[in-house]
Amino acid sequence: MSNVILKKINKVYPNGFNAVKNIDLEIKDKEFMVLVGPSGCGKTTTLRMIAGLEEISDGELLIGEKTVNEVAPKDRNIAMVFQNYALYPHMTIYDNMAFGLKLRKYPKDKIKSKVENAASILGIEDLLKRKPKQLSGGQRQRVALGRAIVREPEVFLMDEPLSNLDAKLRVQTRSELIKLHNRLDTTFVYVTHDQTEAMTMGTRICVMNKGEIQQVDTPKNIYQNPTNTFVAGFIGSPQMNFMNSVIKEENGNVLIEYNGLKLPLTKEMASSVKDGGYIGKEVLMGIRSENILIDKGGFEVTVDVTELLGSEIYIYYSINGEQFIAKETHNMNFKIGDKITVSFDESKIHLFDKESGNKII
Ligand code: ATP
């Protein structure tokens, strides 16, 4: 078993800063768990505590059912891949990959077969005699992975391993890492601030903000059912649109009103807002850009900006100074200054409490 369990883990740095606050997280055996959140939210600190590179201030950490708070990093059966790859510049690629095994006094032939096997998994057999400076960024990144693979760890820990690669290579390496995870069939814990990486790679995603976990779920559930406005705004591109709206009941029908536009709520939504006592109250309505209907009635607006991405176009417009982004995949002919009408698919709206930001339904 190579699950990782964090129980009420806290990190207070010596300057008194509480970087990770009482987090509970169970990373399952063989799972690809992505920790994602904005800069400074505590994801690297969390990963470094799992690795044993940062002391845990409070709480319990278990790897493979064993409490490891006091276990040295080298005895935790984990391997970490860093953002800067941390290769030894004076050593050949072979020696870089073999280094950890030599330290552990593996026999020479065993080291050779492990390094060759990892090199063939990663397609870097031809590079073994070179030095790191003779490699491209993408090749160095593979070597850093290779160094982790030869150790056959129970858990791979990765801190933004793709951030030094150019955009094209990043996309390519993303899918290679997914394949690698399947092939190695072991637990990956992966840190990124990039929500697209999180969405495409994670079997589950843990969204963090300000040292706290906001939501842990599959990419699909997080996208479709965000637990609060932070997660709703952070996951998904373009960002979810939010509108200050009011819940009303008219002639027995529960509806939501935004700027004079009244939308009936679905049965399920209506009973949730009623039960929650939201009739007559302000709420935040969220709508994803793909659920904004264009030229099907509603408000007349002027297109402020368009961004053509090939197979889709982002259309920016504003209502009363609030900016919205709609996404269209059929008609790509919108231009700045065009008059369009916008409305929403009411079955796709999200409702959040205005004060707490938590989802109502
Ligand atoms: P990034 O994506 O920018 O790396 P992160 O989510 O990984 O961000 P951490 O590196 O875990 O964030 O840092 C969390 C918070 O802890 C930040 O506010 C950071 O400034 C603070 N921090 C990190 N290391 C220390 C330290 N040694 N002493 C004091 N505060 C620290």
pLDDT at 6: 98
Q: Which of 121, 96, 120, 101 is nearest to 185 (CA)?
A: 121
**By the 8 A CB rule, do 351 and 286 touch?**
yes
Q: Which fold has domain 241-353?
A: OB fold (Dihydrolipoamide Acetyltransferase, E2P) (2.40.50)
**By the 8 A CB rule, do 327 and 340 touch?**
no
User: What is the Cα gyration radius of the chain?
Assistant: 25
pLDDT at 345: 84
Ligand 1 pocket member 17 (CB < 6 A) = yes
Tokens of 319: 């209502």
Compute, in angstroms, the gap from residue 73 CA to the centroid of ligand 1.
20
Q: Which of 12, 17, 50 to mutate to test the pocket of ligand 1 (most atoms within 8 A of CB)?
A: 17
Compute, in angstroms, the gap from residue 17 CA to the centroid of ligand 1.
9
Q: Which of 46, 36, 56 is nearest to 208 (CA)?
A: 36
Q: Which of 6, 12, 13 to mutate to test the pocket of ligand 1 (most atoms within 8 A of CB)?
A: 13
Sign of CA dihedral 240, 258, 273, 358: positive
Q: Which of 20, 23, 24 is nearest to 41 (CA)?
A: 20
Compute, in angstroms, the gap from residue 82 CA to the centroid of ligand 1.
15
Ligand 1 pocket member 45 (CB < 6 A) = yes
Q: At what angle do helices 137-149 and 167-184 cross, to 10 degrees?
A: 20
ipTM of the complex: 0.96
| pTM for this model (two decimals) | 0.93
| Amino acid symbol at 326 | A
Ligand 1 pocket member 15 (CB < 6 A) = yes
Spell out the per-residue pLDDT of the chain, length 361, in tens. 789 999 999 999 999 999 999 999 999 999 999 999 999 999 999 999 999 999 999 999 999 989 999 999 988 989 988 887 789 999 999 999 999 899 889 999 999 999 999 998 888 999 999 999 999 888 898 899 899 999 889 999 999 988 888 888 888 889 889 998 998 899 999 999 999 999 999 999 999 999 999 999 999 999 999 999 999 999 999 999 999 999 999 998 999 999 888 889 999 999 999 999 999 999 999 999 999 999 998 889 999 999 999 899 999 999 988 999 999 998 889 999 999 999 988 889 999 999 999 999 8
Ligand 1 pocket member 320 (CB < 6 A) = no
Chain center to CA of 112:
36
Compute, in angstroms, the gap from residue 54 CA to the centroid of ligand 1.
12
Tokens of 58: 């409070």
Ligand 1 pocket member 43 (CB < 6 A) = yes
Compute, in angstroms, the gap from residue 13 CA to the centroid of ligand 1.
9
- In the chain, where the domains are located: 4-234, 241-353
Q: Which of 10, 11, 39 to mutate to test the pocket of ligand 1 (most atoms within 8 A of CB)?
A: 39
Compute, in angstroms, the gap from residue 39 CA to the centroid of ligand 1.
8
Residue with tokens 């209502």, as numbered in its chain: 319
Q: What does DSSP assign to residue 332?
A: -
Second CATH level (architecture) for the domain 4-234: 3-Layer(aba) Sandwich (3.40)
Q: Which stretch of DSSP H or E encloses residue 49?
A: helix 43-51
Q: Which atom of ligand 1 is nearest to the CA of 191?
A: 7
Q: What distances in angstroms separate CA 348 from CA 147, 247, 257, 288, one per listed residue? A: 46, 16, 15, 8
Compute, in angstroms, the gap from residue 198 CA to the centroid of ligand 1.
19
Round to whole Å and give the CA distance between 169 and 300.
42
| SS3 of residue 103 by DSSP | helix
Residue with tokens 């509603």, as numbered in its chain: 298
